[in-house]
Homo-oligomer: A and B are copies of this chain.
Amino acid sequence: MGILVVGSIGLDNVATPFGQRADVLGGSCTYFGTAASIYDKVAIVGVVGSDFPQEHIAFLQTRQIDLRGLKVVEGKTFRWSGCYGQDLDVAKTIETQLNVFAGFRPDIPEDLREIPYVFLANIDPDLQLAVLEQVSSPRLVALDSMNYWITSKRERLAEAMAHVDLVLVNEDEARMFTGEGNLISAAESILALGPHAVVVKKGQHGAMMLTRDGDLPRRAFSVPAYPLASVVDPTGAGDTFAGGLVGHLARTGDLTLGGLRRAVVHGAVVASFTVQGFSIDALRDLTMEDVDQRYADMLCLTHFDIPSPDLCRPYEQSIT
């Protein structure tokens, strides 16, 4: 089994109402990989500069992450500086320095091309499509993106979405990408492009998934966010959500509708840990036991009635 992720690895400066951190480990690939490595073997494809601290490499190695696809090139590592206001909902980017990431062309090492679960983290859709050409019929490909690519490369992003199994997208970005104010309609529009499932991330309001076929209440799935009385730093919540989701799929191999729903809950669980610390701090010592405990808590949080066996049966169908 195993999971391949292609995305950014960087150093962040972050300020939230609860504190600030400079030069901390960041990047979509890092967040996703750290989260997914709780579940299964992860291989990273990305690039860092010669200034990238050895301690971060060492950390990724402690998570058994395969770094053969991580290039270290002369120059500076990708950097992002951002801050959050009181509501913690939207990150305000202060500065992005692409640095060595500007010349990044994903080159998947031969040994990694057979990995069955692939995550295309938020990078240029052209690069996401380039990765798809290199991998050998993976069992499941998931893709994330962001407002920057929606605005600047909408057509290529739509093409990439058409070629993956699962699209992850933020609530606002789903609306922006589709021009639909209603979130169900927005998700339907993305689904119409080709993927089997769309997961809309709604921050403190949880997540919604839409899959193909059947009537709406059976192919829509909603899960709330884990209730937290304090959130420290939302950076990386979306990428670690994807890490928990794809991690659970890879660990179980369960691509039924029910399996996918449980994977979405795992995404919500891992993201809820992430936001309790800066950078990946809250994930450093996180164990599968911690995750399982909070998954059980999610069942407590959402439980109101016992569904009949008849009601549950459709969830045992495979989505791909």
A224 touches B206 (CB 8 A): yes
B221 touches A204 (CB 8 A): no
In the complex, A227 has a CB within 8 A of chain B: yes
A-side residues, CB < 8 A to B, are 86-87, 181-185, 188, 202, 204-206, 208, 216-218, 220-231, 258, 261-262, 264-265, 294, 296-307, 311-312, 315
CB-CB < 8 A to A224: which residues of B?
206, 208, 222-224
B221 touches A216 (CB 8 A): no
| Chain A to chain B contacts (Cβ below 8 Å), 19 pairs | A86-B181, A184-B228, A188-B229, A205-B205, A205-B206, A216-B227, A216-B297, A217-B301, A218-B300, A224-B224, A258-B305, A261-B303, A262-B305, A265-B304, A299-B304, A299-B311, A300-B307, A303-B315, A306-B307
Q: Complex Cα distance A204/B208, Å?
A: 12
Q: Complex Cα distance A305/B252, Å?
A: 14
6 A-B pairs besides A206-B222, A258-B305 with CB distance below 8 A are: A184-B228, A202-B205, A216-B227, A217-B298, A217-B300, A296-B311
| A299-B303 contact, Cβ under 8 Å, with A182-B229, A227-B216 | no
B311 touches A307 (CB 8 A): no
CB-CB < 8 A to A294: which residues of B?
217
Q: Closest residue of chain B to A180, judged by CB?
A: B229
CB-CB < 8 A to A229: which residues of B?
182, 184-185, 188, 216
CB-CB < 8 A to A302: which residues of B?
221-223, 302, 304
CB proximity of A209 to chain B, nearest CB, Å: 10
B220 touches A227 (CB 8 A): yes
CB-CB < 8 A to A225: which residues of B?
222
CB-CB < 8 A to A185: which residues of B?
229-230
B184 touches A304 (CB 8 A): no
CB-CB < 8 A to A218: which residues of B?
300
Q: Closest residue of chain B to A182, judged by CB?
A: B229
Q: Complex Cα distance A183/B231, Å?
A: 11
Q: Complex Cα distance A228/B182, Å?
A: 8
B304 touches A221 (CB 8 A): yes
B221 touches A184 (CB 8 A): no
Nearest 10 CB-CB pairs, A to B? A222-B224, A217-B297, A261-B304, A205-B205, A217-B300, A184-B229, A220-B227, A217-B301, A299-B307, A184-B227
From B182, B204, B230, B307, give the contact of A303 (CB < 8 A).
B307
| A304-B258 contact, Cβ under 8 Å, with A216-B227, A311-B299 | yes
B303 touches A312 (CB 8 A): yes
CB proximity of A218 to chain B, nearest CB, Å: 5
